[in-house]
Structure 1
Amino acid sequence: MKFPTPPRGLKALPWRMPIWIYRLGLGGLVGKKFLLLNHTGRKSEKQRQAVLELIQVNSETGEYYVVSGFGTHSQWYQNITHNPAAVIQVGNKKMTAIAKQLNSEEASQVILDYTQKYPKNLKNLGAMLGYDIEHTPEGYLAFGREIPVICFSTSQSK
């Protein structure tokens, strides 16, 4: 699968603006649909941030799942692959976490579950990013086998 190139410069502004909601202490306004990822740059070793859409949460185990919409090209994805230690914030709650990429079968099931819960979201995101996704259960499973799905396990995880 060919992943889209992440935007740079002014084109990246809409993708970066949600970070300021969290920086202003307004993470509670975003609710439980997004998380703020605080991670370490793989080259600079500086602290970096990204806001990511949550596609699944297991509150019993403290696991939070996200997709790398730009695939392996995303800087945050490359950074957490290099150093999986992170701090995530959901709403106003901050938690230490360890990132782990799901295998293709686990990822495809998470994507299928997400599309069953929110049928329009993947259609809209896929169209916006230029993915040609077959909008059937089989198509969602195939997409899930290709796109990186990351699980952030928090300290409350078992």
Structure 2
Amino acid sequence: MGLSLAAIGARVLRTRSLVRAPIALYRAGLGWLLGGRIMMLEHRGRSSGLRRYVCLEVVERPGPGRIVIVSGFGERAQWYRNLRAHPRCFVSTGRVRRAPARARLLGEEESAAALDRYRRARPRDWELLRGAIERATGQPVRGLPMVELRLRRRR
């Protein structure tokens, strides 16, 4: 019997080299190959102040220059904790490279509403994501913290 998609997704989420593989594409200027649903976030380490990178799925684009992302590992995710400490960051997605942005952590109600919109818009993707997160963390998904990134126009 083969592995389910959720089991494969959980393995990917727990394998650092696989999770970080898209970063190399973005840093080489090839992030557009991943389309508009994946983005790279460049943020500062809250203790070290060093640049950090993570690729994440775009949950929604509620308006021009606004992107909502989800923390599948909750508030303990390093990138989430770093944005809480240092909300200024850079976003690369599609053909946009290193656009300056500011992060706003969404409240519980806003996060739940965004997650509900995602569930309705992409039911298959949601089931795969939920299953992978639950297998990787060993806990049921009850709610997930969301972050809105507001991209600033370059002058």
**Residue 108 (structure 1) aligns with:** 112
Match of 2:58 among 28, 31, 54: 54
What is the CA-CA distance between 1:123 and the residue it aligns to?
Answer: 1.0
Task: Please list, as runs of the form range in 1=range in 2, the aligned pairs for 1:73-88 lying within 5 A after superposition.
Answer: 73-88=76-91
Cα deviation code 1:125-149 (max 9, x no counterpart): 111121535xxxxxxxxx3xx3110
* Greater relative contact order (Cα < 8 A, sep 6+): 2
What is the CA-CA distance between 1:18 and the residue it aligns to?
Answer: 0.9
Task: Please list, as runs of the form range in 1=range in 2, the aligned pairs for 1:67-146 lying within 5 A after superposition.
Answer: 67-94=70-97, 95-130=99-134, 131-133=139-141, 143=142, 146=143
Q: Which runs of 4+ in 1 moved over 3 A?
A: none
Instruction: Output the amino acid matched with 2:140.
Output: D
- Show structure 2 runs of 5+ residues with no match: 1-9
**Residue 31 (structure 2) aligns with:** 27
What is the root-mean-square deviation in Å for CA atoms of aligned residues?
1.7
TM-score by length of 2: 0.82
CA distance in 1, matches of 2:111, 2:74: 13
TM-score by length of 1: 0.81
Cα deviation code 1:64-115 (max 9, x no counterpart): 0000011112111111110000010111203111101111111111111111
What is the CA-CA distance between 1:21 and the residue it aligns to?
Answer: 1.1
- Show structure 1 runs of 5+ residues with no match: 134-142
Instruction: Output the amino acid matched with 1:151.
Output: E
Size of the aligned set, in residue pairs, is: 137
> Percent identical across equivalent pairs?
28
Deviates more, 1:44-53 or 1:124-133: 124-133
What is the CA-CA distance between 1:59 and the residue it aligns to?
Answer: 3.9
Match of 2:146 among 129, 145, 149: 149
